[in-house]
Chains A and B, each alone.
Chain A
Amino acid sequence: QKEVEQNSGPLSVPEGAIASLNCTYSDRVSQSFFWYRQYSGKSPELIMSIYSNGDKEDGRFTAQLNKASQYVSLLIRDSQPSDSATYLCAVVPSGGYNKLIFGAGTRLAVHP
Chain B
Amino acid sequence: DGGITQSPKYLFRKEGQNVTLSCEQNLNHDAMYWYRQDPGQGLRLIYYSQIVNDFQKGDIAEGYSVSREKKESFPLTVTSAQKNPTAFYLCASSMAWGGAQLRGEQFFGPGTRLTVL
Contact = CB atoms under 8 A, between A and B. Distances in A.
B42 A102 contact: yes
Contacts, number: 60
Contact of B106 (A4, A42, A51, A100): A100
A92 B42 contact: no
Interface in A87-112: 88, 90, 92, 96-100, 102-105
Contacts of B31: 98
B42 A34 contact: no
A49 B104 CA distance: 10
A69 interface: no
A102 B97 CA distance: 18
B50 A98 contact: yes
Question: What's the dominant secondary structure at chain A's contact region?
Answer: loop
B94 interface: yes
Interface in B58-74: 58
A14 B90 CA distance: 32
Nearest to B29: A98
Contact of A34 (B48, B58, B105): B105
Nearest to B108: A43
Contact of A104 (B33, B41, B48): B41
B96 interface: yes
Interface in A1-55: 4, 8, 31-32, 34, 42-46, 49, 51
Max count, chain B CB within 10 A of own CB: residue among A42, A92, A96, A97:
A97
Interface of B: 31, 33, 40-45, 48, 50, 58, 90, 94, 96-97, 103-111
19 contacts: A32-B103, A34-B105, A42-B110, A42-B111, A43-B109, A43-B110, A44-B90, A92-B103, A97-B50, A98-B33, A98-B97, A99-B45, A99-B48, A99-B58, A99-B104, A100-B43, A102-B42, A104-B41, A104-B42
Interface of A: 4, 8, 31-32, 34, 42-46, 49, 51, 88, 90, 92, 96-100, 102-105
For the complex of A and B, list the 10 residue pairs with the smallest distance between their C-beta atoms, beginning with the closest: A102-B42, A92-B104, A104-B42, A43-B108, A97-B97, A102-B43, A32-B104, A32-B103, A43-B111, A98-B31
